[in-house]
Each structure stands twice: as structure tokens, then as C-alpha cells.
Structure 1
Amino acid sequence: MKKIATLALVTALLATTAHAQEKMTLNVAVFPSLDSSIKAILPAWNKKYPNVAIKLQTQEIGDHHTAMTTALATGQGLPDVMAVEIGWVGKFAEGKGLEDMNKAPYNAAQYKKLFTPFTIAQATSADKRFVGMPTDIGPGTFLYRKDILDKAGVKPETMMKDWDSYIAAGKVIKAKTGASLINAAGGIYGVVSRTNLKPGEGIYFDSKNNLLVGPDNARFVRAFTLAKQVRDAGLDAKIGEWSNEWYDAFKKGTVATQFSGAWLTGALQNWMAPDTKGLWRVQNLPEGGYASWGGTFYAIPTAAKNKAMAWEFIKFMTLNQEAQLKAFTDNGAFPALLTAQNDTIFSQGVPFLGDQKARVLWRDAARKTQPIDVNKYDSVADQIVNTELTNVLEQGKDIKKALADARTQILRRAR
């Protein structure tokens, strides 16, 4: 029966690539700003597939993944193509509601070498199913306001030497300019917990599903400790990401630095704080660390109705250098495709960053970022650990007690 089903899908795929004669609509579920990346390349798609209309189903990132979780569980409202952000890919992969692209008719193994290596591991489940083709990645980067650092007499290179230097610089910045070092102390945890992972480790679990969170794990203890030092010194603005206050801080220059993926530059440029053009610069993460910070994959639900054309769309968006570069120039979505990273645009300065040649820096960071394993309980662990971090920062909870409690809660949920 499996052979018959595979043969049927292969036949459908061959028919699709010969160009569908009947008009059809392909439903693609995404989140911002992936929708704008698709819209930017639609003229080229329509030229190649004039009879296939793309219908975008766009929701905010959290609502999108909640809706897709429900759709996969119930089989209702499933799109033909589903965008999955890295924070959810482990959960979706283990749920087995997505097509394994290693198998026929996709045979995606032949394409894996074309992408930034670490992103392939991110889309591979514990049982080695490949559930999503990467479209963009998030090389971790340190953004800073050059005007604020100049006013404080702080050099970014010195600031990034180590975390002690970063915090010391923050005290100078606060004293001389009044600007906070960072929007929220928890952002420090976000960097430290992602960098310098050992082979076979994910952020929260190792390759054998052993939980890494706990009071004896030096990485988590240090991440919590540094975040608390920033909070205790009054260096963070206590502003959450993706809030109006966060956007205002960028616009008004009340926060001097931000850790994120390279994609944040595009968001700042396009809608968060376009009037700050020329004031920002970027550096690599502190202590020579490299980390993946976001990333998006295209997946096909197992119960999707138009799998053959869905696969054509995914290849068009991920293996097509034009599509990859359109997304990059449109909204800063850093291309996962290696050939796109070799385009001449990477040697050009970025106007928003004062013509700094930041793309070369990000490309180098992406190629030095090590693969990390994903786990279906990553999102659960992330929520629990961040709640305990909040208890440390806002209620003065002992760090080792908080990590011990986080470990207990994660193990309970994982069972």
C-alpha cells in the first residue's frame, strides 16, 4: 500500500512539473514578514505557474503556530504549505503530521548540501525525518546605537570582549547618556544559553533526550547570573520584546544595544524605527560566540490536498536564488541557500547600518554556527525556564533553586 501511495504522489508530481492546465489555488499559511517575501516574488511565480494562484493565510507568529497545531491535531483547516519557525519545528516534527521530505517523491537529501549546514539539523527529527526545507536563517548578532556609544566614549570591540566588559560598558553608558544597556535583562540569558554548545547538545536537551537544565549546568547558571547582574545594576529598561514600548525605545534611542538575529535589521529599517537609519551598527556576539537566532522552514502537512504543487512552491522559495535574495532585500530574511549568500549584494554596504558591510559578518557567523539538536519539548522547556528566570529577576529567587524547580517541571511535562 505504501508503494502504491508513493507511486500516486510521484505521478502527481510529474503531472505538476509539466504545468497544471486546470486552474488551482495553493493555500500557504505564513506569518509576518514571510508574507511580504512571498508577495515580492509572486510575479516570477505567476509567470512560471500562471494557472496556480497563491492564497496566503497570514497570522501573527504565535497565533499562526497555535492554529497550525490545532489543524494538525484535527485535520481541519490544513494548508497545502505551512511555514514553521525554529522555535516550533521540534514540536511539529515529533508530532508526525508533516511529510518526511527525505522520502520519495521529494528526495530532499540531494538538496541538503545546498543550505547552511546548521539549518538542516534544525529540521531533522530524532528519528531522522526531514520535515521542512529551510528558507531563511538567523545568524546571531549584536546591534548597537553608534551615536549612544560614541557619546559615552565606549568602543564596541572592547564591549564585546567578554560579558564583564559588556556590563561595565553598560554602567558607563547609563551614567553618561541615560540610556539603558538593553531592553530586558533576560536577553542576556538568551545569548548565553544559545552559544558555545557542545556537539550533540540542543539548548535544553542533548541528542539522547537527556534534559540539560538544572542547578549543576554551568551554562544555565552563568546565563541566569549574568542576567541578574544586569538587572541588579539597573541597566535594563524592563521592556518586553514585540511591545509598543520596545518599538519606542528603538525610535527614541533609550536603549543602546540589542541581541537578535540578523533579520532584526530589516524590521528596524522597514517598520520599527526607519528614522534611525545610519545610527545602528552590528558586531558578532560576545566572547566569540556564534548562535542561531530564528529561522523559518516550509513544510507540507501529511493530510494536505495538493502535495505535488506544494513541493513545487517550496522548491521555488528555497532553491531559487532570486526568491531568496528578494526576501533578503525586502525584509532582511537572511538566505539559507548558500549560492544566494555568494551574491555580490553581500559585498555591498547596508545603508541602514551606515554602509557597514554587515552581510559579510553575518555570513561568516552563519558558517561558524554549529548544528544544534531540536527536541519536541523545546518550547515547553523554554517557557518554563523563562518563567523561573522572571522569578529570579523580579522576586529574588535563588538561581540554583529556580533551575532545580525548572528541571522538575520540565521532566514532569516531558513525561
Structure 2
Amino acid sequence: MELSRRGGLLLCLGLLAMQGASAQRQQLTVAAFPAVDEIVKAAIPAWNRLHPDVEIKLVSRALTDHHTAMTTALSTSAHLPDVMAVEVGYLGRFAQGGGLEDLSRAPYSIAQYQSRFVAYAYQQATNRRGQVVAAPTDIGPGTLLYRSDLLAKAGVGEAELTRTWESYVAAGVKIKAATGAYLMAHARDMKDIVIRTGIQPGEGLFFDSRSNVLVNTPRFARAFELARQVRRNKLDAKVNAWSSDWTEGFKRGGIATQMMGAWLAGHLNTWLAPDTRGLWRAAQLPEGAFAAYGGTFYAIPRAASAAQKPMAWEFIKLMTLTRELQLGAFKAQDAFPALLETFDDPFFDQPIAFLGGQQARVGWRTAARRITAVDVHKQDAFADEVINTELDKVLVRGKDIATALADAERLLRQRAFR
């Protein structure tokens, strides 16, 4: 009887101990957006093997909602995650705001891993003070995707399409006449890519390293002029990316080309236009240009719990420096890896059925190595809105390009140092 009581007591104590251990299990909050959230979920088993006592709590929101929430959290130091995913378009605002940990300092010392990352991506996370505020996890080497069947019907070859930006527009005239298909979704797409080419060291898209405004320059003038040529020749469908009309244009063969990050091929294959399988091809951007389009980073908020930061850094290292996880994200989500040691994997050489068996990843890998770093600025998002507004005035109202760029420059000068 006494042994039975002792056994029962020991069992109860054991259960209490297990409950106590469960209650004390550390929780790491990771804030992300679609696709990245799936990548995080897929990595949780690997994380659990390394850190069984630390639970990953994933908070996912739509892309814009996520960054709005992170902006608010950083400004108020409330409801901060331990790790946040940041899309490159928002990185400048966060990098210059001082709300993110400097990963170049101890105990992080990310510089020891710099040579393992794609060079331009690492540089994008480095602000004007030399602080590295995030670790790159995926990149978006720019590519030109085109409908090979439409080009064949128009008698246009890839070389003609890509020789120069002007030949690209001229090819669009032929394609439109022969097939009725538009060269591109929106003339703004031309501007978006051209302004990303020819950027010199120390320059960003809109500002240089000293916050001087760069929009009233030959780079922007040419981008605006090419976009105007597209509109005057009625070569754009006047639809915005990610709209239903954009998707329908791809499905019905109404849009012949699209310049964007290499990841778009995966989206076309899986949900945008899967029935067009085998009709698309990928090429480098016209005129030998190399440009980045998109990319994701992981960062640690400076005001987050100090006790959580060591484990937050372990999570970031796992996601960005583990070859298997980087390749897994590439295969499952078309998240082109920022980790250079993945570049020798046979997966890059595999033919892509959606692209007619083309080994397109080889070209994208070349682009990733050729892209130069573009400095980010806290006013990049605002500058993008200003430039788009002025371009619309040129395209719709016939505003003079020189006047449009001068007006944009004047407005951006007022905001550059805020």
C-alpha cells in the first residue's frame, strides 16, 4: 500500500515537472508575409531538432499590412516580433530609421559571413553609417520573360528583343501588328527596369549616399522617354501588376513579355497562367542590363527583448546560412537563394518545363553575380510614388519629361533629409 502511494506520488511529481517544463518553453515570434511564411513553416522541423525548447510563433500578414504593422511597431516599440522579414522595397525606410539591430556588431558579427552572400544583397542591407541591419535570404535577379509563340508568329527573335531598349520597343511594334498582343502590361514597367540599370557605386535608385536627389538625370530621362514610346505606340495594356486584368493578359496571350524578378516564372507556372506551360522563355534584360527586382531579408528589432535576441540570431542564421533550407525554399517557393554556396547545386542546371525545357536558372545565376549593389534610402518608397505620379502625367496628360523630372526633383529635395 505504501509502495503504491509512493508510486502515485512520484507519478504526480513527474507530471507536474513535465507541465512546468512545457510552461517554461521559450517562444520566438517571427513576423512574415506570404511565401516567406511558408518558408518559415517548412524550416520549423529543422529548428526543432536544434532547439527543441524554443517554439516558433509565426505571425503572417499580407505584404503591405505586414510592413505597415512593422513600421508602427518600430516607431512605438510595442508588439515587436523577435524576428521580422523585410522586403527590399521597405528596407531603406527601416535601415535609416535606427529601429533595427546592427548585425555587424557583436554578438552577431555578420561580417564573418559576408563572403557567403550574394554581394549586392549584403550591400543592400548596409546603411550609410556602415551598419548591417538585416541578413539577406532571397533575391530577385531581373529577367525578361516572353511568349515564344507570339514572337514566332511576328517573326521576332530573342536577339532582336534584347539587343537594345530601342530594339525591344521596335520588336513590340511588330508583335502588336502580327498578333494583337501588347508588348507589356504597363509602360511603367519599362521605367521600373531602366532606372535600375547603369547605377554607379554609392548610388541608389533615387538618392546617392549623401541624400542628393538623382531623378533629374539621363538615367531617368531615358526611362521616361522609353515608357512614352511604349505608350505612343500603344504597346502597353495599361494594366497594373497583380490585378485581375494582368493575370488575364497572361492567360489569354494578350501580354507578350514581362520584365520582373526571376521568381515570376514560378508564379506564372503555379497560379497566374499554368495553362501557358511551355510557351514562355526567359532571357537576360535588353542591352546587357542586370538589375535586381525584389528580395527578402530578416532583421531583429532593436527594442525587442534582449533575452530573445541570441535565439533570434540563431534563427536568422539557420534561415540564411543553411544550404538545404535555402535550396528547399528555392524549389518550393521559387525564392532565389542569397547564399552563394547553393549556386553549384544541380538544381540550377535542370530544365524548366514551364519554360519549354529551358535551363533558365543558369542565366538567372549569371545575373545574380553581375548585379551591382544599389544603396537604399529611407525615402525610397515615397520617391517611387512621386516618380510614378510624374510618369503618369507624361503618359496621360502629355507633360514634358524635363519638367516632370524637375518637379519630382524639387519635391524629393524637400523630403531627402527627413
Q: Specify if TM > 0.5.
A: yes
**Contact 1:40-1:330 at 8 Å conserved across structures:** no
- For structure 1, the residue ranges without an aligned partner over 5 or more in a row are 1-19
Matching of residues 14-413 of structure 1 within 5 Å: 22-214=24-216, 217-305=217-305, 306-413=308-415
**Contact 1:115-1:337 at 8 Å conserved across structures:** yes
Q: Deviations over 1:318-370 (max 9, x none)?
A: 00011101110111110000001211111111122112111110111111111
Distance 1:300 1:332 in 2: 25
* AA in 2 matched with 1:95: G
Which residue matches 1:15?
none
When Rg is computed on C-alpha atoms for both structures, the one with the higher figure is 2
**Contact 1:41-1:326 at 8 Å conserved across structures:** no
Q: Deviations over 1:159-179 (max 9, x none)?
A: 100112111111111111111
* AA in 2 matched with 1:50: P
Distance 1:382 1:129 in 2: 24
Q: Deviations over 1:257-302 (max 9, x none)?
A: 0000111112212222222221111000110000111111000001
Moved more, 314-323 or 342-351: 342-351
**Contact 1:21-1:51 at 8 Å conserved across structures:** no
Q: Deviations over 1:110-155 (max 9, x none)?
A: 0111001111110001101100000001111100111211222211
Distance 1:180 1:166 in 2: 12
TM-superposed CA distance for 1:414, in Å, is 2.4
Distance 2:309 2:126 in 1: 20
Write out the 4+ residue segments of structure 1 that deviate beyond 3 Å after TM superposition.
none
TM-superposed CA distance for 1:49, in Å, is 2.3
Distance 1:100 1:199 in 2: 22
TM-superposed CA distance for 1:22, in Å, is 4.4
* AA in 2 matched with 1:141: T
TM-superposed CA distance for 1:21, in Å, is 11
- For structure 2, the residue ranges without an aligned partner over 5 or more in a row are 1-21
TM-superposed CA distance for 1:53, in Å, is 2.2
Distance 2:354 2:50 in 1: 34
TM-score of the superposed pair, with normalisation by structure 1: 0.92
**Contact 2:30-2:56 at 8 Å conserved across structures:** yes
Distance 1:280 1:33 in 2: 23
**Contact 2:212-2:413 at 8 Å conserved across structures:** no
Distance 2:368 2:200 in 1: 17
Q: Deviations over 1:355-410 (max 9, x none)?
A: 21111101111111111211112111111111111111111111111101101111
Distance 1:58 1:412 in 2: 35
TM-superposed CA distance for 1:207, in Å, is 2.1
Residue identity (%): 54
TM-score of the superposed pair, with normalisation by structure 2: 0.92
TM-superposed CA distance for 1:42, in Å, is 2.5
Moved more, 321-330 or 40-49: 40-49
State the secondary structure of the residue aligned to 2:210: coil
TM-superposed CA distance for 1:40, in Å, is 2.4
State the secondary structure of the residue aligned to 1:293: strand
Q: Deviations over 1:206-234 (max 9, x none)?
A: 222211111xx111111000000000110
Tell me how many residue pairs correspond in the alignment.
394
Change (3 A) 1:27 1:362: same
Moved more, 391-400 or 203-212: 203-212
Moved more, 166-175 or 265-274: 265-274
Distance 2:353 2:57 in 1: 33
State the secondary structure of the residue aligned to 2:269: helix
Which residue matches 2:17?
none
* AA in 2 matched with 1:272: L
